[in-house]
Amino acid sequence: MMLNRKCKNCLISESYSDVKLNENKICNFCTTLKKDNDEEKRLMKKEFEEYIYEIKGKNVYDCVLLFSGGKDSIYLLYLLTKKYGLNVLTVTVDNDLETNLSKENIKKCIKFFNVNNLTVIPRNDFYKRLYKYIFKNKIENGYSMSICPICFGIINCIGLNIAAKKKIPIVLDASSPDQIRSGDYLNKNLLKKLDSLNVLENPDFIKQDLNYFWDPKKYDIIPRFIKPFYFLEYPGVENIIKKLESLGLGQKKKFNPLSTNCHMSWLSIYLDLKKYNDNMYIRNFHKLVRYGKINRLKWRIMLPIGIFLLKNRLIKRKQINQAVKYIDLKLEDLL
């Protein structure tokens, strides 16, 4: 049996249908890699810093930070409070499937950074109905690609609604560089995915669910939506973890670059790997390697081991089972 070759640079496997390796074993994504537009990012950073200094102190809160309790949102909170001195309102959306660890991180960080947190828990089994509907009707291009963008979009909308109501001028998202293409926009594709749910006409939803969607016509102020790690220095996964540990924000179970705080994400990753041998989070991980934001030598060994263990449910079995139970389905029906 011939093993699939991997890119010498980013470690992505040629088992993916759109991955081609050249004679030097470098993949097509690496050979066509565009260099960062450093001047564009420098100007965006300059504009961002001028903007936050302009709005600083003019409202009860300077900004909303969408806060999951993961390493990237904690690191961005550190920058916003310690470097820029902003008064941050952290907003957390509870989808019923977050880990206890993320909840502990949130409590610890709120106290450490002396910020307020607003946790939104949607009513009427909103997330249960949403996930069941997506699984039955909206699986396109893989599970993670179908589920997570809609979920992210709703979190973004909730953050925008809160900011608009409280007249907070800016909403910040801590997505890492591998997850974003631009630093100052609300992804139009996300909004299209949300519109495709047809909440008002869809019997799987109720009118109150519209409270979790963004409708700019309801507000006098339209907050800016920004993903700062597009243009702010992102020191790399390992360096972020070291920084958080130096602040005393480490944890008994160390931060894992491959980890996620959501049980539904684990289910979607597992299903993608089992059915398609492909997953957007694994691809994003290779992108981090490609851009030198994570240790290639270490993860050359660790990544295939992690994928093997997950595909065989030797890890994250409990999280996967919890997610399946939550949507009242059976795992064998999804495979």
Please, which pLDDT band fits residue 2 given cuts at 50, 70 and 90? very low
Tell me what the mean pLDDT of segment 126-140 comes to: 90
Provide the 10 A C-beta neighbour count for residue 123. Answer: 11
Please, which pLDDT band fits residue 113 given cuts at 50, 70 and 90? very high
Please, which pLDDT band fits residue 184 given cuts at 50, 70 and 90? very low
Instruction: Report pLDDT for 98.
Output: 86
pTM across the whole model = 0.90
Please, which pLDDT band fits residue 192 given cuts at 50, 70 and 90? low
Choose the weakest-confidence range: 35-39, 158-162, 303-307. 35-39
Please, what is the average pLDDT of the chain?
88
Share above pLDDT 70 across residues of the chain, in percent, rounded to a whole number: 90
Does 36 score more than 90 pLDDT? no
Per the CB < 8 A criterion, the answer to whether 313 and 115 are in contact is no
Please, which pLDDT band fits residue 253 given cuts at 50, 70 and 90? low
Among 223, 178, 320, residue whose Cα is nearest residue 263: 320
From the options 3.40.630.30, 3.40.50.11720, 3.40.50.300, 3.40.50.620, give the CATH code of 38-230: 3.40.50.620
Does 252 score more than 60 pLDDT? no
Among 232, 155, 237, residue whose Cα is nearest residue 190: 155
User: How would you class 192 by CB atoms within 10 Å of its CB: exposed for 0-12, middle for 13-18, buried for 19 or more?
Assistant: exposed
β-bridge mates for residue 170, sequence order: 224
Does 74 score more than 60 pLDDT? yes
Does 1 score more than 80 pLDDT? no
Share above pLDDT 90 across residues of the chain, in percent, rounded to a whole number: 58
Instruction: Report pLDDT for 226.
Output: 93
Instruction: Report pLDDT for 76.
Output: 98
Instruction: Report pLDDT for 95.
Output: 92
Instruction: Report pLDDT for 267.
Output: 96
Does 255 score more than 80 pLDDT? no
Instruction: Report pLDDT for 115.
Output: 98
Does 35 score more than 70 pLDDT? no
Tell me what the mean pLDDT of segment 259-284 comes to: 90
Phi first, then psi, for residue 263 (nearest 5°) are: -65, -35
State which amino acid sits at residue 19. Answer: V
Does 187 score more than 80 pLDDT? no
Q: In the structure encoding, which two tokens stand for residue 229, read together?
A: 């790690």
Highest mean pLDDT among 33-42, 83-92, 260-269: 83-92
Domains in the chain: boundaries: 38-230
How far is Cα of residue 110 from the mean position of the Cα atoms in its chain?
A: 20
Instruction: Report pLDDT for 212.
Output: 92
